[in-house]
Amino acid sequence: MTDHPRIPLAGVIGHPVAHSRSPALHGFWLRRYGLQGHYIPLDIAPSDFEAGLRMLPRLGFVGVNVTLPHKENLLRIADIVTDRAALIGAANTVIFRKDGKIHADNTDGLGFIANLRQNAPDWQPKSGPAAVFGAGGAARAVVAALLEVGVQELRIANRTRLRAEGFRHDFGAKVVVYDWTQAGQMLEGATTVVNTTSLGMTGKADFTIPLDGMEPGALATDIVYTPLKTGFLIEAEARGARVVDGLGMLLHQAVPGFERWFGQRPTVDEETRRVVLSA
């Protein structure tokens, strides 16, 4: 036991981690609110992940974010896993509890929904089917969140069809699987459309699925935020969709962790976006 208050530490564990924008984001919030604390990038290899994670509370860490390639592994190690993290199959936010237990949550879905609520306040998730391109790790958080806010029909298409079939198994009968070669057909009547593939990301292949069937007034969003305006969003906007870029998902998924670790709920606003974009 120490007899003086320790400055709370948090950070992000990844491998690699140098590209992470989380230190810029949390560092900005710490300065903005004049809080004592530090947020540190921690490059830890998979073989050292468990030992490294368990050592952190003794060094003064109150929690961490966890990113690739550790997000699934964290579920095995944590003592307490939230229901949503278990359903998604991955966690990104750790709280080191005073009783020594490791608490793991997944806030990606919260971030996804908060981004849409902030930037399209009149969005009605129950107003029609949702269409999701892609069935990778990020899609699991998006699908879980859409179903949680009441989407009644969740259409999904993935290049590797088996992965999308797995969503039907894991998330239930509201999930309808479409073939990747006919993914554009998901758009008919869909009021929410999400790209969760890496298509359109800087340095990756373009998003080339025709969006002719996009409903004017549908809400389109991308989890990719480099570039901010992806090919998918440009095309969706040209078809009359309302578009919300993916940067807000990154910013909002960080809110619950920061609040738990440092005791202040941070606000996501234009300045936050600017700081993270220029990081």
Q: Which residues make up the interface to ligand ATR (CB under 6 A)?
A: 134-139, 158-160, 163, 196-199, 205
Nearest distance from C-beta of residue 71 to ligand ATR, angstroms: 8
**Which CB, 57 or 136, lies closer to ligand ATR?**
136
Query: Which one, of 255, 259, 263, lies nearest residue 272 by Cα?
Result: 255
Q: What angle do CA 51, 52, 54 make, to 5 degrees?
A: 65
Nearest distance from C-beta of residue 169 to ligand ATR, angstroms: 15
Q: Which amino acid does the sequence have at 252?
A: H
Strands 130-133 and 154-158: parallel
Nearest distance from C-beta of residue 159 to ligand ATR, angstroms: 3
**Which CB, 78 or 135, lies closer to ligand ATR?**
135
For residue 98, indicate whether it is catalytic.
no
Residue 20 CA to residue 208 CA, distance in Å, equals 28
230 within 8 A of 200, measured Cβ to Cβ: yes
Structure tokens, 30: 């710490």
Please name the residue that has the structure tokens 């239930």.
Answer: 172
Q: Is 80 a known ligand-binding residue?
A: no
Catalytic residue among 71, 98, 126, 204: 71
**Which CB, 45 or 205, lies closer to ligand ATR?**
205
Q: In this structure, how many other beta carbons lie within 10 angstroms of the beta carbon of residue 208? A: 10
Structure tokens, 186: 């998901």
Q: Is 111 a known ligand-binding residue?
A: no
Shortest-Cβ-distance residue relative to ligand ATR: 136
**Which CB, 130 or 275, lies closer to ligand ATR?**
130
Q: Is 196 a known ligand-binding residue?
A: no
Catalytic residues, by residue number, are: 71
Annotated binding site for NADP(+): 83, 134-138, 158-163, 223, 246
